[in-house]
Structure 1
Amino acid sequence: MPVFPLDLSSTPYAVRIDQVDSNTSYIGKAEPGSGEAAGVWQIQRITVSGTITSIEWAGGTDEFDKVWDDRVGLTYS
């Protein structure tokens, strides 16, 4: 199970966590009340391969301009 780099107790954001399988998870943050189809999300992908855990940003940036519903098809770096 991945280790999430997110302190849920102190964040003022709405948070979504999608663990699609044992090696891949997505974390999204946005303003409370944001729709999942709105381009207002900051999304990370966390992947585990052996002993290596990688954390990458959707679009290679931490901007709040992604669509949560599109998380699987986005490019990460």
Structure 2
Amino acid sequence: MAALRIVIQILFILICIVLTVIVLMQEGKSAGLGAISGAAETYWGKNKGRSMEGKLVKFTKYLAIGFMVISIILNLNVF
């Protein structure tokens, strides 16, 4: 059981690092100032879910869920 706990801790550390990097790669909310002038109606504004930014947001959500699940598992003291 100790080996499984070590594997889960290593996975947790990797998720923490990747989550930090992905959050730092995302654009800030102030980067969308083009919406004031109507630039949000462009192709990239309508299809943001298919762009690289949209993929980063989705991946961030999945990593955050994994982060929470693993942190709960590690705090249960089952291992």
TM-score tier by shorter-chain length is under 0.3
Q: Which has the larger radius of gyration?
A: 2
State TM-score, norm by structure 1: 0.20
With CA pairs under 8 Å and 6+ residues apart, which has the higher RCO, 1 or 2? 2
Which one has a larger percent helix, Structure 1 or Structure 2? 2
State TM-score, norm by structure 2: 0.20
